[in-house]
Amino acid sequence: MLIIAGMNRLATGRTQIDGKQTAKRDAARKEPAARLPLGDEEITRPTFRRERAALKRGVWPIAGCDEAGRGPLAGPVVAAAVILDPDNIPRGLDDSKRLTPERRAVLYERICARAQVAVALAPPARIDRDNILRASLWALTRAVAALPVKPALVFVDGRDRIDSGCDCQAVIGGDGLVASIAAASIVAKVTRDRLMACLGAAHPGYGFERHMGYSVPEHFAALDRLGPTIHHRRSFSPVAIALGELGADADDAIGDVLPL
């Protein structure tokens, strides 16, 4: 009888524990799923979806193009065009601004090894003559024209299409959405950064290798101390002021400090 009573108490204890665990599971099921706090948006990554859809329609080759260096006070705008291999797309492609310099360098090498790539530059003289937007579009057009094969479709980052000699689609925020554009943004950024490092070595004291020609306190101080170089954009207000040439035709360049 003692053994049976003990077994009954043990079974009753187990029933109580099982009942509590079941109640906890039921309560957990009723609780709403945790949500991200307001303002925390999921970061999207560029995909090959647009290119793949065009490829299924028989459209090929497909190029993506983007430029780097619209905002700086010095140096060229660098445009790049890239035709990715659908069967050998480098992993980790993203908007160049969201990548570290080290990661950009790795992806740059992979893109150049696996894709068809072309680069074009719009020098400061053209920027001063045509304005920054027209010079950028000119460089993008030249980059596409320099590709080893003529594309049947071009995706370009931004609002403006270019005269590419084929179908062209402008994609706002394309460097964060379209894989080919993201690849072009990486090539353009790495190419320009390396060029500005060379200009920094050729013109010590300006810090081009650090700020890439952007409007930062170090650059303003160098303009005041050393004056503009031939690589500065004379139509941008801070440079025009340093040259004593500010007039009605000068661009309303950003006098405040811009982020790199």
Q: For the chain, which domains are there?
A: 49-198 (3.30.420.10), 200-243 (no CATH)
Is the pLDDT confidence value at 256 over 70? no
Stretch among 43-47, 77-81, 134-138, 229-233 having the lowest mean pLDDT:
43-47
- The residue ranking higher by pLDDT, 71 or 22, is 71
pLDDT at 16: 53
CA distance 256 to 17: 67
Cβ(243)–Cβ(228) below 8 Å? yes
CA distance 178 to 66: 11
The CA-CA-CA angle for residues 158, 164, 166, to 5°, reads 110
Model pTM? 0.79
Cβ(47)–Cβ(168) below 8 Å? no
Cβ(153)–Cβ(141) below 8 Å? no
pLDDT in tens, 103-130: 999 999 999 999 999 999 999 999 999 9
CA distance 113 to 36: 39
Is the pLDDT confidence value at 14 over 60? no
CA distance 213 to 228: 11
The CA-CA-CA angle for residues 142, 143, 146, to 5°, reads 85
Closest CA to 119 of 65, 71, 165, 163: 65
